Amino acid sequence: MTVSIAIPFYNEEEAFQNMIDPLVDQLESAGISYELVLVDNGSWDKTGSLIDNAIAGNPKLKKVRIEKNEGYGWGIINGLKSSTGSHVGFICGDGQVTAEDVVKTVQFALNDERDLVKVRRVERKDGFLRVAVTRVYNWTVPYLFGLKTRDINGTPKIFSRKLYEQLDLQSKDWFVDAEIMIKSDHLKVDPYELPVTFNAREQGSSHVSVLKAILEFVKNVYHFKTCRHYKLWKKSKQSS
């Protein structure tokens, strides 16, 4: 079995090397058959060149280039479309989850053949405001959609290919994580969550505006509950 992991990078020239090198080392040391899909998500700094250099030295790495950044979710969706593994998944490109914890998540997904394995950030070191907003988010989304998960946005998320193909992901922004958890719950998938520490950024800076994220959340919840795609998706799964 091979796992394909999509990693979106948006102007991450400072963080890129320190994120990729340990991850490759840990995957190789664990003897995992892997593919890393490195998504240049509309960057205008040196991120694209760093990806080019990385893939030139490792045939297990591939590049996807998105000319214009349309959101985190759009990078994920395009990266997953280019994935070829029996299991697929994604992780943020900021390196806040250690390579060791990424590999533990992958191993659990492959060895136990779960349809969905993800992390749960039990300790966070990314600042009071981000932690507070995330706690509200992790209470509100499960309440509105009847979910059991305690950490909607925890990544990596690793899926079986069968589940990935059933999800038909559409969210171009940060709501992609919520879309995954909502649809997986509808499909009666019980996600397994591994507890991890979520570290502070060591290089680069976050591209997430807290105010913008809150406004996007309100918009997305309304849109997702009323959108034609979700209604048709649920209908198609009920009839299949």
Q: pTM, whole model, 2 decimals?
A: 0.91
Terminal-to-terminal C-alpha distance of the chain: 27
- 3-239 maps to which CATH number? 3.90.550.10
Q: How many residues does the chain have?
A: 240
Band the pLDDT of 216: cuts 50, 70, 90. confident
Band the pLDDT of 210: cuts 50, 70, 90. low
Reply yes or no on whether the pLDDT at 209 is more than 80: no
Token pair for 154: 């925890």
Dihedral sign of CA atoms 78, 81, 82, 83 in order: positive
DSSP codes of every residue in 181-200? HHHHHHTT---EEEEEEEPP
Average pLDDT of the segment spanning 195-202:
80
Reply yes or no on whether the pLDDT at 154 is more than 90: yes
Largest CA distance in the chain: 48
If one counts every other C-beta atom within 10 angstroms of the C-beta of residue 113, the result is 12
Band the pLDDT of 8: cuts 50, 70, 90. very high
DSSP 18: H
Reply yes or no on whether the pLDDT at 206 is more than 80: no
% of the chain at pLDDT higher than 70: 93
Closest by CA to 191, choosing from 162, 136, 152, 221, is 152
Closest by CA to 131, choosing from 151, 146, 149, 145, is 151
C-alpha to C-alpha distances, 18 to 25, 90, 98, 114, 229, nearest whole angstrom: 11, 17, 11, 29, 39
Average pLDDT of the segment spanning 128-142:
82
Burial class of residue 56, CB neighbours in 10 A (0-12, 13-18, 19+): exposed
Q: Any idea where the domains of the chain sit in the sequence? A: 3-239
Average pLDDT of the segment spanning 146-157:
92
C-alpha to C-alpha distances, 177 to 57, 136, 193, nearest whole angstrom: 31, 15, 14
DSSP 83: -
How many whole angstroms from its chain centre is CA 209?
Answer: 18
User: What integer pLDDT is reported at residue 222 of this predicted model?
Assistant: 81
Q: How many helices (H) and strands (E) does the chain have?
A: 9, 7
Tell me the per-residue pLDDT of 38-58, one tens digit each, with 9 for 90 and over: 999 999 999 999 999 999 999
Band the pLDDT of 205: cuts 50, 70, 90. low
Question: What is the rounded CA–CA span in Å between residue 88 and residue 225?
Answer: 27
User: What integer pLDDT is reported at residue 225 of this predicted model?
Assistant: 79
Average pLDDT of the segment spanning 77-86:
97
User: What integer pLDDT is reported at residue 110 of this predicted model?
Assistant: 94
User: What integer pLDDT is reported at residue 132 of this predicted model?
Assistant: 80
Q: Please give the residue that has the higher pLDDT: either 122 or 196.
A: 196
User: What integer pLDDT is reported at residue 124 of this predicted model?
Assistant: 74
Closest by CA to 99, choosing from 154, 46, 29, is 29
Amino acid (1-letter code) at residue 73: G
